[in-house]
Chain A
Amino acid sequence: MVMNAESPLRAIVADDSVLLRDGLVRLLTDSGIEVVSAVGDAGALLDAVTEHEPDLCLVDVRMPPTHTDEGLRAAIEIRQRYPHIAVLVLSQYVEERYAGDLLAGDVSGVGYLLKDRVIDVDDFLVSLRRVAAGGSAVDAEVVSQILGRSRRTNELDRLTPREREVLNLMAEGLSNAGIAERLVVSNGAVEKHISNVFTKLGLDVEDGNHRRVLAVLTFLRA
C-alpha cells in the first residue's frame, strides 16, 4: 500500500451499521488514513465535520432517523458549506437520481459508489484517494443506468462498443492512464478513443479528469 508522504488524510466515516462502520474505519486506518470521527447519523456527521474539518467524508446514503436519503442530503450540505472537503457517498443500491442530486454542481472531490465496491479493497482505495485529491468517482452501475436512460441514446448509438466502454470509464472518473490500464491498451489508443467520443457527441476536447466527468454527465442528463 502506497502511503502518502505528507501528512495523512483525515477522514470522517458516517454509517449507521456498526459492523460496516468498524470495517471501514479499520480499512482506512490500515491504509494510512486517519479517521478523526466515526458517526451513525447525519446530524452527528455535520457536527463532526464542523468540529474536525476533515479532508474527506465517507457517507452512507441511508441513515437514521428516516432511513431514506439523509446521508445524501448531509453530503450535499457539506459540499455547499465546505467546498474543499471531499465527499464520497456510499449507497446500498443504484439510484441515479441520488447521483444526479450529488453531481449536479461541481463534481471535483465528489464520489458516488455502490457500497459493495469496498469489497474490492484496492480499487476502492484508488477511487477514495482520487476523490480526496479533488477528482471524482461515479459508480459504473450508475453510469450505465444513466446511459441506458439517456434520451440521446441515438447519438450514443454512433459510438463503437470500445468507445462506449471508454465513455463509461470516463464517467466513472478514471484518468486516461486509468482507462488504459483497465482496458489493457496504450495511452495513445485511449486518447484516440476519447477524442472520437467527444467528436461524435459534439463535446469540446479538453483534458482534466473531473471536467470530463462533468461534461459527460451533463451531456447524459440533458
Chain B
Amino acid sequence: MNSFAPPTQASPGTGAMLSTGGVDTARSSSYGASGRETGGVSDLPPPPPPGSAGSAAPAGAAGPSDRGSGWDWDRAKDLAETWFRPLTAPEGWWALGYLFFSTLAAPFLFAAMVTVAALAFGLTFILVGLLLVVPFFLMVEQFALVERHFAKLAGHRIELLAPRRVTGAGPRNLKNVITDPVRWRHVGFVALNVVLAPMLFGLAAFPLSFVLQAVFGDGIINGPGFSLGTGIDTGAAGILALPLAAFFAGAIPRVAIFMASLKAQIDSWFLGTDRLAVAEMRVSALSSQRNDILDAVASERRRIERNLHDGVQQQLVAIGLDLGMAEHQIDRDPARAKELIGSARQKVQGSIGELRQLGRGLHPAILEDRGVDAALSAVVSGSPIPISVHVDPDLGLTTDVAETVYFIANEAIANVLKHANARVASVHVTRVGPNVRIVVHDDGVGGVDPSKGTGVAGIRARVHGVDGTLTVTSPAGGPTTLIAEIPNGR
C-alpha cells in the first residue's frame, strides 16, 4: 500500500572497509530488501593501518618465520588471515567480472547505438529514418537491460525505471518515445558507459595487475621492473615489491567490490528508479488527496450550514412565530393561543431531535465513550431496514481512526438507505494485518457509480486522506459491496 519505502540504512555488504558514505546510503531500499547472499565481508575489521601492521601482516604470511622473530606471531597471523580472506570469497571476483563484462560490452553497444542513430538521422531526410526512431529507443532499452544483468552478477539489483510503453511506430508512439526522459537517459547511459566501464574496471584491476606483474614479471606487464617472479631476488626493488604485492593481493577483492558498487550506483542513477521522481509522484498524489480532503471538508461544512439554517433555524423561527401569535391573541382568544403554544412545544421537540441528529453527524459522543461498535449500532438502530453490525472486539483503534471508520460506515449506510432500496444490509469492521477493513454490503438495486455521487466521493476523499483504499462493486441490479481499508494508526 505504501509505495514509498524509506531508505534503508547502509546495506551490510560493503562493511567498514568499503564504507563509501553517501553512495552506500543512497542505494535504494531494494538492496536491503533483496539482501546479499554473502556476509563475509561485513565481518571484517577495519583495514590495517598503512604503517607497520600493514606491512607486517603480509610479511608474516608470505615470508619465512625467521623474519618474524620478536613480533607477535599470533596477531600477525590473524591480521594476515583477515586481510586475505576475501580472496577466497566469490563476490570480489564477481564484482571484477561485472566490470570486465561491462567494459567488454560497452564499446559494442555504443557502436550499435551510434550506427542506428546515424542511420536514422541520415534517413530522416527521406522520412524512412523516422521509422527507425522507435526501434532505436527499444534497442537502447535492451542495452540498458544487458547492463542490468551484468550488475546482477555482482549482486547489485537495479530497479529499472520503466519508460513509457510503446505499441508501434506510429506518430503518437514516436512522440511518446522522443519525449520520454527515461529513454534519453538510456541513451546517455550507453554513451557514458563507454568511458565509465573501462575506467572503473581499470581502477578495480590495478591491484590485480600489480600483483600479477610482481609475481610473473615483465612477461605480463612491462613496468619499471621490480621483478620477483623469476625467483631471484633482484635487489631493493624486489624486496619492496614483495610486501607491496602481498598488500595489493588482499586489496584486489576490496577494490573490485568498491568499484562495482560505485558502478552499480551510477548505473542506477541513470537507469534505476529515480527517487526524486518517486517523491514527486508522491507529493502530487498527496496534494491531490489534500484537495480531496479540503473539498470534502467544504462540502461537509455546507451540509452542516444548510442543516442549521434550513432545519433548526427555520424551526426556531416557526416556534417564535407561534409564540408571538399566541402572545398576540391570548387575551382575545385564549383557546387559539393555547393551540399555538401547543404547536410551538411540538416544534421544540422536533428541533431538539434535529439538533441531536446533527451533532451525531459531526462527532458522535458515543464513539469516544463506547467505541465504533456502539456508535454504529446507534446509527443502524433508527434504520427502516435491518442492518447488522459486526465489529471485531479487539481492533485497538486510535480516536482518529475510530472516527474515520465511523464516518465511512455512517456515510455508506446513509447511501444505502437513500439510494439502494435494499431489504437488508450489513456492516463489518475487521482487522486485516496492519489495516482496518470496513465492508458495507446491501442487497439493493446496485448500479452505484463510484465516480459519481457525493456520498461515495465523500467516502473516497476520507479513505484516500488516510492513505487507504476503496473498492465499490455494484453491478446493476445489485448487490452492492463497499470495501474500504485504512491503516490502523499512522
Contact = CB atoms under 8 A, between A and B. Distances in A.
B314 A120 contact: no
Interface string A14-46: 001101101110110010000000000000000
B347 interface: yes
Contacts of A119: 317, 320-321, 323-324
Contacts of B309: 62, 92-93
B318 A20 contact: yes
Contact of B321 (A27, A67, A93, A122): A27
A89 to B, nearest CB: 15
Contacts of B306: 67
DSSP majority for the A interface? helix
Interface in B314-341: 314-318, 320-325, 327-329
B66 interface: no
B72 interface: no
Contact of A118 (B310, B317, B327): B317
A26 B310 contact: no
Instruction: Give the one of B317, B322, B325, B329 with max A CB within 10 A.
Output: B317
Contacts of A104: none
B298 to A, nearest CB: 15
Nearest to B318: A19
Given A19-B318, A23-B318, A118-B317, A62 B310 contact: yes
Residue among A23, A62, A92 with most chain B CB within 10 A: A23
Contacts of B322: 23
A116 B325 CA distance: 13
Contacts of B318: 17, 19-20, 22-23
A20 B317 CA distance: 7
A27 B325 contact: yes
B324 A118 contact: yes
B313 A92 contact: yes
A177 B317 CA distance: 29
Contact of B328 (A20, A115, A121): A121
A20 B314 contact: yes
Contacts of A17: 310, 314-315, 318
The size class of the interface chain B forms with chain A is 10 to 19
B146 to A, nearest CB: 63
Contacts of B347: 19
A121 B321 contact: yes
A1 B316 CA distance: 24
B310 A20 contact: no
B324 A19 contact: no
A26 B340 CA distance: 10
A119 B320 CA distance: 5
Nearest to A125: B328
Contact of B320 (A67, A93, A118): A118
Nearest to A120: B324
Contacts of B316: 116
Contacts of A67: 306, 310
Contact of A20 (B321, B323, B324, B329): B321
A31 B15 CA distance: 96
A19 B310 contact: no
Interface in A111-136: 115-116, 118-122
B324 A26 contact: no
A17 B317 CA distance: 11
A1 B314 CA distance: 26
Contacts of A27: 321, 325
Interface in B285-323: 306, 309-310, 313-318, 320-323
A122 B309 CA distance: 24
A67 B307 CA distance: 11
A16 B320 CA distance: 18
A30 B322 CA distance: 12
A182 B327 CA distance: 21
Nearest to A116: B317
A20 B311 CA distance: 11
Interface string A80-94: 000000000000110
Contacts of A16: 310
Contacts of A1: 328
A26 B323 CA distance: 12
Contacts of A24: 321
15 contacts: A1-B328, A16-B310, A17-B310, A20-B321, A22-B318, A23-B325, A62-B309, A92-B313, A116-B316, A116-B317, A116-B320, A118-B321, A119-B323, A121-B325, A121-B328
Among all A-B residue pairs, the 3 with the closest Cβ atoms: A119-B320, A121-B324, A17-B314
Given A19-B318, A118-B321, 12 more contacts: A17-B315, A20-B314, A24-B321, A30-B325, A30-B329, A115-B313, A115-B314, A118-B317, A118-B324, A119-B320, A120-B324, A121-B327
